[in-house]
Amino acid sequence: MNTLLAKHWHQLPRNEVAELLESDADKGLDTFEISRRQTHFGPNRLTLKKGTSPLVLFLLQFHQPLVYILLAAAAITFALEEWVDSSVIFGVVLVNAVIGYVQESKALKAIETLAHGMEGVAMVVRAGKKQKISAAELVPGDLVLLQSGDKVPADLRLLRSRELQIDESALTGESVPVQKQPEHLPQATVLADRSNMAYSSALVSYGTGSGVVVAIGDDTEIGQINALIASAATLATPLTRKITHFSGILLWIILGLAGLTLVAGWLHGQPLLDTFMAAVALAVGAIPEGLPAAMTIMLAIGVSRMARRHAIIRKMPAVETLGSTTVICSDKTGTLTQNQMTVQQLCVAGQCYAFAGVGYAPQGEVSLNGAVVKPAAQPALIECLSAGLLCNDSHLVNKDVQWLVEGDPTEVALITAAIKAGLGREALERALPRLDTLPFESQHQYMASLHAATAESAAVIYMKGSLESVLSRCSDTLTVNATTAPLDKALIFSEVEAMAAKGLRVLAFARKFVAASSQSVNHADVAQGLTFLGIQAMMDPPRQEAITAIAACQQAGIQVKMVTGDHLATAAAIARQIGLHGAADGDADSFAISGHRLAQLSDQQLVEIAQRAAVFARVSPEQKLRLVAALQAAGHVVAMTGDGVNDAPALKQADIGVAMGVGGTEVAKEAADMVLTDDNFSTIEAAVEEGRAVFDNLVKFITWTLPTNLGEGLVILVAVFAGATLPITPVQILWINMTTAVLLGLMLAFEDKEPGLMLRPPRRPQTPVLTLELGFRIGLVSLMLLVSAFGLFELALYQGKGLETARTIAVNMFVFGELFYLFNCRSLRYSMFKLGVFSNRWLILGVIVMVLLQILFTYAATMNQWFGSAPMRVNEWFWVLSGGFMIYSLVGVEKWLRYRGSSRVKTRPENNRS
């Protein structure tokens, strides 16, 4: 098969297509040729990508810089026969690995879902005989028959069609079924406009047709999407990138300090074993062992909170990524809009009526010039609506208090409008029963129906279709009083232009009275002499909640862009209705960009225009993927929303993919990081808010835990340089780090969102986790922990206390220093009194449990034996508590001095939603 032709079957006449494929347009392929082609081309299936094995996935959990140090420390202590220290260190590493493995073990299933979507049956003609076969057995050149309800089994070049309409919304983003026809098209025709092609996995919604298979398996359009999904990089999230960078820096600092400890010990002539244990203690102390587990659990808590707000997180780092998002690229159909065509305006006899209500529910008033009218008193209005109701093959069904569509959404919109005006279909069809129909054909662009005569009148033909096809057949127009008058085409075209500017799709209606004896209708009967009835304008209306959510996102400094397969004018009009704006608002050419223009841009030009434009219409899956990559190249953190198969590659490429849970395809859900259970764009705003709160709490945890690690490392380093005994041992350090991380640090995850959260601009991707001011605070607390812990340790030894007692005092100083500092970290800006001392009840519970554990650590004989601790006296507790209160007071003063001029923050009421 010629590679060039394989991409442009739509440009070839249908007879040439069959000849090139050496097939017969009536009989299909013969039996021997089918067998040969099955051997040559293989089955009609997608190639699956081999995933990561569970074992490799588990081993990857150990592939982290800080874990290497802990594993080395475990190995060294094991070699030195320090069994307790070695087992505790390795146990900590193992627990972190298990937590990470459990969270990542759900591998992506997008490609498998695609492959499953292609399975099915196909009705074919082979050797002149009609037969049903498995879709996997299809080969290029097979003649396939299509009818309503079928799933297209492969990419087909249509040879025949009769009223054939195919729903390609999941593939192209087109919001209504596409009318198909067999004639050839220009080579430059974009995918969504190739009306002579039927693509694999699309659904036949109406009519019949036949076509010859031109591509199977990986060569189909959906196969190319499969390849894009497989090739799209799964990017590290902003959080994982920052933590990785932070871990790398910390790794070299720890190695440097450990090396310095070894050198200092050697210079002081200390025994090699003691020096090694000091270096191990420093390494273990400086590593925030609780950080991976704490980060995972904090993200899990964020997942739970988002689930209550209708957002299901499939990959936990996505929680924080939402908080970092700078651009949201949203699909239009079903995401920003209702995905329910609705008649909004009807113009007859120079009067334009407005219809209230959205969606298929037939509820809403009819108004004229802002005043509600009684439709029954408007004969011209009723006649135009009757035409739309009678010249109609679709149905609106009320099932379980839900309005369901049977047929074409455009026709159902006409039914809904007629019912709103009080018309009943059954009564109207009894009065004017249908005798014959001219079905819609693309070359004629209209449908007509003949209805029987009544006692009072002749038979009547009703017509609906494109404005040009209907208007050219009319000789007069209906007036307000239901009489006829000369046709004013200029007035009609001006009304249509006004509607088109609003993104409305227009259908024109006409009628013609014929002899009462007429039993059939043909194209000659409607070639001329019709009376123009009016035009009905409809659109897929925007979600009202999406308008509010977009405004909130833009106020939070997040750009929202529409990326759709729909027409440019429609998309631009919807975008303006929902309040989208870009850097090029005043430039109509740059506000909305078509896929055809995108294809002509270089990568650098695309990076520039991607940041300026607000709407990208008629785009292919490859262009969606390229657009996301261009925004990422400009330094943006990109969230991509969508519901179709065509969205899946871009969903995977984006920093966070957001799929629709109700109307979305399984492929989109599997490719996404987050699924919205209510298909509501406004849920994204809530998710962004939760994401920002999660990151806030993560920064609070890191700001809280690092002074302990740094303080522990400094205590060891100072002891070695001073030639003194180590104030704390490696196993005591692990006790401090792990118990406080779980019982104290993790409680920060339950802090409420702070005021003004959604009024902040998004964090720049380049911004480090810790700012200079937080670095200063960490350094200040580390020094206070060093001075208080080392000072109390030396004081205890000076007073003749035993080594175990002195070390127990030092351990408690670290624990209670962290406990007091925890109340500072409830907010990085405000005091705990502003937040409410008891507003975080989990934190209070954690503090109580931690105090009880420290009492056990100090007084329980078993704990004394395991950890080398010893009982303390009351006056020694007074020293420890005084040191903790000193830390809390100094940090409180530092916060007050830094933020005293910026304590008042404006907030929106919804920022305090839980």
The values of phi and psi at residue 499, to 5°, are: -70, -40
| Packed helices 730-743 and 803-824: angle between N→C axes, nearest 10 degrees | 30
Q: Are strands 474-478 and 459-465 parallel, antiparallel or unpaired?
A: unpaired
Which 8-state DSSP code applies to residue 194? -
Q: Give the other-Cβ count within 10 Å of 5's Cβ.
A: 15
Query: What are the angstrom distances between the C-alpha of 682 and each of 676, 686, 689, 752?
Result: 10, 7, 11, 21
Q: Is 887 helix (H, G, I), strand (E, B) or coil?
A: helix
Token pair for residue 123? 């009705």
Token pair for residue 165? 């309409």
**In Å, how far from its chain's centre is CA 19?**
45
If 0-12 CB within 10 Å is exposed, 13-18 middle and 19+ buried, where does residue 112 land? middle
User: Both ends of the chain: CA-CA distance in Å?
Assistant: 60
Residue 674: strand pairing partners = 313, 658
* Closest C-alpha among 371, 372, 382, 373 to residue 349: 382
Residue 441: strand pairing partners = 446
Phi-psi region of 364 (alpha: psi -120 to 50; beta: other; left: phi over 0): left
Residue 638 near residue 235 (C-beta atoms within 8 A): no
**In Å, how far from its chain's centre is CA 292?**
25
Q: Which residues contact 44 (CB under 8 A, 6 or more apart)?
A: 118, 135, 136, 137, 138, 139, 153, 154, 216, 217
Q: Give the other-Cβ count within 10 Å of 79's Cβ.
A: 10
Amino acid at 427: A
Alpha carbon distance 743, 851 (integer Å): 10
Amino acid at 82: E
Query: What are the angstrom distances between the C-alpha of 172 and each of 100, 126, 210, 624, 653?
Result: 37, 31, 21, 11, 18
Alpha carbon distance 527, 544 (integer Å): 43
For 513-548, letters b (16+ CB in 10 Å) and e give ebeeebeebeeebbeeebbbbbbbbbbbbbbeebbb
The helix (run of H) or strand (run of E) holding residue 427 is: helix 425-431
Q: How many residues does the chain have?
A: 914
Alpha carbon distance 107, 114 (integer Å): 15
Which 8-state DSSP code applies to residue 151? B
Which residue in the list 331, 540, 673, 696 is annotated as catalytic? 331
Query: What are the angstrom distances between the C-alpha of 49 and each of 52, 53, 72, 228, 723?
Result: 10, 12, 36, 12, 59
Q: Are strands 615-617 and 559-563 parallel, antiparallel or unpaired?
A: parallel
Active site residue 331: yes
What is the C-alpha radius of gyration for the chain, rounded to an integer number of angstroms?
36
User: Count H helices, E strands: the chain?
Assistant: 34, 28
Alpha carbon distance 890, 888 (integer Å): 6
Residue 509: strand pairing partners = 464, 534
Q: Which stretches of 643-692 are assigned E, i.e. beta strand?
A: 656-660, 674-676
**In Å, how far from its chain's centre is CA 40?**
40
Q: Are strands 311-313 and 674-676 parallel, antiparallel or unpaired?
A: antiparallel
Alpha carbon distance 72, 57 (integer Å): 21
Residue numbers annotated as active site: 331
